[in-house]
């Protein structure tokens, strides 16, 4: 099998002990990944093709990442699209004397334009990320969106880079069940496994069928936008549960993810919230079965429709492809 023949098998076994077992998940590659990570989107810069615009300047990347390290975050979610990996790397390097590389988990992603451009562009981008993050390897590298007719080639390009030691685990992001099935049809026992599917998932966008499919295939689901948006935090159900357990509203949403076996990427420039999110999650409390079901039912048809429209736009964004190249039907939830 791929794992037995993996060049990094011995390193994998050693790496398993680098993260506390109860606060990490074992990926199909043999490496452990922390359950809670810090997101770097819109730090220092807002991408030109971002779908959201802010009138306030973005927070300073170096300062925010340094604070996140101080409060105990060890996994950082980066991406080519975020256009700030060099600043993230500067902050981590400045902090590195107190943290060995084995205690950090760095994630990056190649953007749609690079995926569409092909293998050479992907290789160049991975090398750029390695240089910017000032590291010899990336713990987890993701395909940011399943660009039609291009994403399977991208995965196989990343597989070659993994064999060179530049990447330890390979995953995908924003993949539907149909996208995963398409990719799986091109894999065999000699190919590295799909380790992670990073998707937007939370009580207000509970994509249960996608989650269940990934679990059945041994693919770990990781949530971005686990807190949905500011309005979600003030939902009556969230507030009531938070009051019961004496935790913040955001911790309730994050706890829902963890109890569903989903790791989370959280983002905040506010130091108090940073600490609150990472500390509150490990408080000794569990949402009961009734509360989990209550939260499961917050997803609306409108939310699933909005996800569908976002998916259709983003899989071809910043590429010459048109909407007609996007698959006509796919699983929403």
**In this model, does residue 54 exceed pLDDT 80?**
no
Token pair of 55 as six digits = 């009138």
Token pair of 166 as six digits = 């530049």
pLDDT at 13: 40
Q: What is the distance between the alpha carbons of residues 102 and 303, in angstroms, rounded to a whole number?
A: 39
Q: Which residue has the tokens 């408080």?
A: 283
Q: What is the distance between the alpha carbons of residues 78 and 3, in angstroms, rounded to a whole number?
A: 26
Least confident of 2-6, 118-122, 149-153: 2-6
14 or 235, which is more confident: 235
Select which of 8, 82, 137, 213 is catalytic.
82
Report pTM: 0.93
Cα–Cα distances (Å) from 43 to 65, 208, 309, in that order, read 9, 31, 26
**In this model, does residue 333 exceed pLDDT 60?**
yes
**In this model, does residue 27 exceed pLDDT 70?**
yes
Q: Binding site: which residues? A: 144
Percent of the chain at pLDDT > 70 equals 92
Domains of the chain, each with CATH number or no CATH:
9-325 (3.20.20.100)
Residue 121, phi then psi, degrees to nearest 5:
-65, -35
**In this model, does residue 10 exceed pLDDT 90?**
no
Cα three-residue angle 264-270-271, rounded to 5 degrees: 90
Q: Identify whether 82 is a catalytic site residue.
A: yes
pLDDT class of 14 with cuts at 50, 70, 90: very low
Average pLDDT over residues 316-331: 94
pLDDT at 261: 98
Mean of pLDDT over the chain: 92
59-80: per-residue pLDDT in tens? Answer: 999 999 999 999 999 999 999 9
Q: Binding site for substrate: which residues? A: 144
């Amino acid at each position: 099998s791929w794992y037995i023949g993996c060049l990094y098998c011995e390193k994998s076994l050693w790496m398993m002990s680098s993260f506390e077992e109860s606060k990490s998940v074992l990926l199909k590659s043999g490496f452990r990944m922390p359950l809670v990570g810090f997101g770097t989107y819109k730090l220092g810069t807002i991408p030109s093709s971002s779908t959201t615009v802010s009138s306030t300047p973005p927070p300073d990347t170096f300062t925010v990442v340094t604070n996140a390290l101080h409060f105990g975050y060890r996994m950082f979610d980066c991406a080519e699209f975020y256009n700030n990996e060099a600043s993230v790397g500067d902050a981590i390097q400045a902090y590195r004397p107190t943290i060995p590389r084995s205690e950090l988990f760095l994630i990056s992603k190649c953007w749609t334009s690079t995926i569409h451009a092909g293998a050479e562009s992907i290789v160049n981008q991975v090398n750029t990320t390695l240089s910017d993050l000032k590291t010899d390897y990336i713990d987890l590298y993701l395909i940011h969106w399943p660009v039609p007719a291009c994403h399977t080639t991208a995965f196989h390009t990343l597989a070659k880079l993994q064999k060179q030691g530049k990447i330890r685990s390979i995953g995908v992001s924003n993949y539907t069940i149909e996208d995963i099935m398409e990719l799986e049809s091109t894999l065999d026992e000699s190919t590295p496994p799909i380790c992670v599917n990073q998707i937007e998932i939370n009580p207000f966008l509970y994509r249960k069928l996608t989650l269940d499919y990934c679990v059945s295939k041994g693919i770990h689901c990781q949530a971005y936008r686990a807190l949905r948006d500011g309005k979600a935090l003030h939902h009556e159900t969230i507030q009531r549960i938070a009051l019961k357990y004496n935790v913040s509203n955001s911790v309730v949403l994050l706890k829902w993810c963890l109890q569903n076996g989903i790791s989370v990427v959280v983002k905040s420039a506010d130091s108090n919230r940073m600490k609150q999110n990472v500390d509150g999650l490990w408080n000794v409390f569990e949402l009961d079965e009734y509360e989990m079901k209550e939260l499961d039912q917050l997803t609306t048809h409108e939310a699933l429709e909005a996800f569908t429209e976002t998916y259709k736009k983003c899989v071809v964004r910043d590429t010459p492809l048109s909407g007609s190249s996007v698959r006509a039907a796919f699983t929403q939830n």
